[in-house]
């Protein structure tokens, strides 16, 4: 079928695919129905469901600049700063709706990065990657496909470049070039939403030298392509999903993005789905472009999840009867302050975006990295405050199985009750939700998703214009002449003629 899907149609489309997915020693036959993966599918389904809701049409949909058709915004190439802003508004909306990672942004950012970089590669080398990619993009848009952006290689010895590794396959590489396409081998790690995507878009993970040209490869394959194997990663408290829904905290939408290790066992890729093959001098641009888009997101999606955590913290304070205590109000206010600070960063880097030669718009690189660096810090603080508000039961609440056990249920009902008019089960559910959001996998993902803090600091240092700032300081201090002041006053100092 063509056109935008709704949530049910997305779930049904996954049932038609046959990816090789393994978890805890067994093969998952249907990611749409397995209790371990189904919550992640539900979170991604929300990106489809809201796009069909008239209340959210403006933020969740866009008009394709290639076909003129209405499309899901997760398949759109940004054509203005307003598009960039709507993207992060969409992220915050979905974070609020799911209290989770909804996974689809990584593929969107891969599409945008490839759109820009293939254009630049073609300008230098006269290749046709950009036209190939536009054809692929139309296919993604028309069929409303979810793509998993796969950038991070397993890397082996981090002190060595790709071509220097003892095992050449620890970075994804081209092992054969054929008349009709290429064969790739290697693995990508931590890939969000991989098992419940339709497509995998692989990108290089770092800057490359000429000796690394076999590793400078970008391509797209169906998730169930021959030779693709995925091993679903463990998450905090993941098997609680097998016991019921209370202990999960967020049983319907899980927690973070359902990351997987993707192995490419000599996977064939036809040329029409190859978007970089040996152009090592553009690997760095592709990585930085993708990273900029992806770091832009975090002040949206993580703040949407923070909205849920703040609400849960306020609710548990009410259930405990302490909602009016000044220290509780202060903690909640601080949580809001931290979250909205991150939101400001996402908006700022979007509004300060710019048009690239390809015609696509990009966020401000410096501010996007500031956004993500804040996300490596602030969620830890708002999570600490949530844990402070909820109290020690966040770590010691009896299990759902004990709550359902007739021999212990009445005891838990009696002794875990807060306010008399609040059901004990409501209190327990809220405690578990706070546990899920403040102790679970959200925090490592905040730290390492879209790159660890060192990566953001490198980019911030590159974009900080320290030399310009030093010059301005010298002007203010009177060490350098202040041309603006002199021009306004209508005179020059002796010896200033010709100074640039």
Pairing of strands 228-232, 260-270: antiparallel
Q: Annotated catalytic, 445?
A: yes
Neighbours of 489 (CB within 10 A): 9
250, 437 contact by CB (below 8 A): yes
Neighbours of 390 (CB within 10 A): 25
Q: How far apart, in whole angstroms, are the C-alpha atoms of residue 75 and residue 107?
A: 8
The residues, ordered by sequence, that sit 6+ positions from 164 with a Cβ below 8 Å of its Cβ are none
**Candidate list 294, 319, 349, 371, residue with the active-site label:** 294
Neighbours of 147 (CB within 10 A): 25
Q: How far apart, in whole angstroms, are the C-alpha atoms of residue 124 and residue 214?
A: 19
Sheet containing strand 181-191, edge to edge, reads 26-28, 20-23, 228-232, 260-270, 181-191, 173-177
Query: Which residue's structure tokens are 């911030």?
Result: 460
Q: Annotated catalytic, 105?
A: yes
Local structure of residue 174 (DSSP, 8 states): E
Paired residues of 20 in beta bridges: 229
Task: For Cα atoms 7, 10, 15, give the angle at the middle one, nearest 5 degrees.
Answer: 130
203, 151 contact by CB (below 8 A): yes
**Candidate list 112, 248, 277, 301, residue with the active-site label:** 301
Q: What 3-state DSSP class applies to 135?
A: helix
Q: How far apart, in whole angstroms, are the C-alpha atoms of residue 461 and residue 457?
A: 6
Q: Annotated catalytic, 101?
A: yes
Q: Annotated catalytic, 342?
A: no
Q: How far apart, in whole angstroms, are the C-alpha atoms of residue 297 and residue 205?
A: 19
The residues, ordered by sequence, that sit 6+ positions from 69 with a Cβ below 8 Å of its Cβ are 63, 141, 142
**Candidate list 119, 293, 298, 403, residue with the active-site label:** 298
Task: Specify the DSSP element, H or E, that contains 498.
Answer: none
**Candidate list 81, 101, 288, 361, residue with the active-site label:** 101
The residues, ordered by sequence, that sit 6+ positions from 94 with a Cβ below 8 Å of its Cβ are 46, 47, 50, 102, 301, 304
Q: How far is CA 419 from the centre of its chain?
A: 39
Torsion region of 197: left, alpha or beta (phi above 0 gives left; psi -120 to 50 gives alpha): beta
When computed from its CA atoms, the radius of gyration of the chain, rounded to whole angstroms, is: 25
Torsion region of 5: left, alpha or beta (phi above 0 gives left; psi -120 to 50 gives alpha): beta
Q: Annotated catalytic, 294?
A: yes
**Candidate list 152, 192, 292, 397, residue with the active-site label:** 192
218, 202 contact by CB (below 8 A): yes
| Catalytic sites, residue numbers | 101, 105, 192, 259, 294, 298, 301, 445
């Amino acid at each position: 079928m063509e056109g935008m899907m709704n949530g049910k149609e997305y779930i049904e489309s996954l049932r038609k695919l046959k990816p090789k997915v393994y978890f805890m020693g067994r093969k998952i036959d249907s990611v749409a129905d397995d209790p371990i993966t189904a919550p992640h599918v539900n979170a991604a389904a929300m990106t489809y469901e809201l796009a069909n809701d008239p209340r959210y049409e403006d933020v969740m949909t866009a008009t394709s600049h290639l076909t003129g058709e209405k499309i899901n915004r997760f398949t759109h190439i940004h054509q203005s700063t307003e598009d960039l802003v709507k993207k992060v508004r969409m992220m915050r909306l979905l974070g609020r709706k799911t209290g989770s990672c909804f996974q689809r942004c990584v593929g969107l950012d891969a599409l945008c990065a490839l759109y820009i970089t293939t254009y630049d590669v073609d300008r230098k080398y006269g290749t046709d990657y950009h036209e190939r990619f536009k054809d692929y993009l139309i296919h993604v848009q028309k069929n409303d496909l979810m793509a998993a952006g796969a950038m991070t290689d397993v890397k082996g010895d981090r002190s060595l470049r790709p071509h220097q590794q003892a095992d050449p396959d620890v970075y994804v590489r081209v092992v054969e070039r054929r008349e009709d396409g290429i064969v790739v081998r290697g693995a990508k790690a931590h890939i969000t939403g991989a098992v419940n995507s339709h497509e995998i878009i692989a990108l290089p993970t770092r800057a490359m030298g000429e000796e690394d040209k076999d590793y400078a490869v970008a391509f797209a394959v169906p998730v169930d392509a021959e030779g693709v194997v995925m091993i679903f990663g463990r998450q905090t408290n993941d098997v609680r999903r097998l016991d019921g829904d209370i202990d999960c905290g967020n049983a319907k939408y899980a927690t973070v993005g359902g990351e997987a290790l993707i192995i490419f066992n000599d996977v064939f890729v036809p040329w029409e789905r190859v978007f970089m093959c040996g152009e090592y001098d553009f690997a760095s641009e592709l990585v930085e472009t993708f990273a900029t888009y992806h770091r832009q997101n975090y002040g949206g999606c993580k703040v949407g999840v923070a909205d849920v955590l703040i609400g849960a913290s306020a609710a548990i304070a009410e259930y405990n009867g302490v909602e009016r205590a000044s220290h509780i109000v202060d903690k909640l206010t601080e949580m809001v302050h931290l979250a909205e600070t991150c939101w400001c960063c996402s908006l700022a880097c979007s509004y300060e975006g710019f048009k690239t030669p390809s015609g696509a718009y990009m966020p401000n690189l410096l501010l996007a990295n500031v956004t993500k660096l804040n996300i490596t810090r602030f969620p830890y603080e708002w999570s600490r405050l949530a844990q402070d508000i909820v109290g020690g039961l966040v770590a010691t609440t009896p299990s759902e199985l004990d709550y359902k056990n007739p021999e212990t249920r009445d005891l838990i009902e009696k002794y875990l009750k807060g306010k008399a008019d609040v059901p004990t089960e409501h209190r327990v559910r809220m405690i578990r939700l706070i546990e899920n959001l403040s102790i679970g996998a959200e925090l490592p993902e905040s730290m390492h998703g879209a790159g660890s803090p060192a990566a953001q600091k490198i980019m911030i240092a590159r974009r900080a214009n320290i030399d310009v700032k030093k010059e301005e300081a010298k002007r203010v201090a009177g060490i350098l002449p202040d041309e603006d002041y002199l021009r306004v006053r209508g005179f020059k100092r002796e010896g200033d003629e010709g100074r640039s």
